Chain A
Amino acid sequence: MSDLYLIFKNLTRKKLRLFLTMFATFIAFLIYGTITSFQAALDAGVELSADDRLVSVNKINFTQPLPISYVNKVRGVAGVEEVVHMNWFGGYYQDPRNQVQTFAVDKDTLLGVYTEIILTDEEEANWLQNRQAILVGESIARTNGWKVGDRLPLNSNIFSQADGKTVWQFDIVGVYTGADAQTDTNSVYIHYKYFNETQSFGGNYIGWMGVKTASPDLNEQVIKSIDDLFVNSPFETETVPEKAFQKAFIEQIGNIGLILTSVIGAAFFIILVIVGNSMVLAVRERTAEIGVMKTLGFKSVRIFRMVLGESMLLALMGGGLGLLASLGMIGLMNSVPAPLPTLIMDADVVLKAVGVMLALGLITGIIPAVSALRLNIITALSRG
Chain B
Amino acid sequence: MNDEILYDLKSISKSFVKGKEQVTVFDGLNMSIKQGDFLAIMGPSGSGKTTLLNMLGGVDQPTGGEVWFDGNRVDTLSENGLAQWRANNIGFIFQFYNLMPMLNAARNIELPLLLTNLSKAQRKKSVATALELVELSDRAKHMPNELSGGQQQRVAIARAIISDPKLLLCDEPTGDLDRHTADEILQMLQLLNEKFGKTIVMVTHDPRAAEFAKRTLHLDKGEFVEKDLAA
Contact = CB atoms under 8 A, between A and B. Distances in A.
Interface of A: 1-3, 6, 9-10, 12-13, 288-289, 292-301, 377-378, 381, 384
B102 A295 contact: no
Contacts of A10: 102
A279 to B, nearest CB: 16
Contacts of B119: none
Contacts of B63: none
Given A295-B59, A378-B59, A289 B114 contact: no
Highest count of chain B CB atoms <10 Å: which of A295, A301, A377: A295
Given A295-B57, A295-B86, A1 B107 contact: yes
B225 interface: no
B59 A297 contact: no
Highest count of chain B CB atoms <10 Å: which of A1, A12, A289, A381: A1
22 contacts: A1-B103, A6-B114, A9-B100, A10-B102, A13-B102, A288-B98, A289-B98, A289-B100, A295-B57, A295-B59, A295-B86, A296-B87, A296-B111, A297-B84, A297-B86, A298-B115, A299-B80, A300-B83, A301-B80, A377-B59, A381-B98, A384-B96
Given A2-B114, A9-B103, A377-B59, A299 B83 contact: yes
Nearest to B110: A1
Contacts of B83: 294, 297-300
Given A2-B114, A298-B115, A378-B59, A292 B98 contact: yes
A95 B39 CA distance: 94
A251 to B, nearest CB: 53
Given A12-B102, A299-B80, A381-B98, 12 more contacts: A1-B107, A1-B123, A13-B101, A289-B101, A294-B59, A295-B57, A295-B92, A296-B87, A296-B115, A299-B79, A377-B59, A381-B59
Nearest to B91: A296
Given A377-B59, A378-B59, A378-B60, A297 B115 contact: yes
Interface of B: 54, 57, 59-60, 79-80, 83-88, 92, 94, 96, 98, 100-103, 107, 110-112, 114-115, 123, 159
A377 B123 CA distance: 26
A372 to B, nearest CB: 14
A12 B87 CA distance: 27
A9 B110 CA distance: 15
Nearest to B89: A297
A297 B81 CA distance: 10
Contacts of B110: 1
Contacts of B107: 1
A381 B57 CA distance: 13
A6 B84 CA distance: 20
Contacts of B101: 13, 289
Nearest to A10: B102
A310 B84 CA distance: 24
A329 to B, nearest CB: 34
Contact of B112 (A12, A297, A384): A297
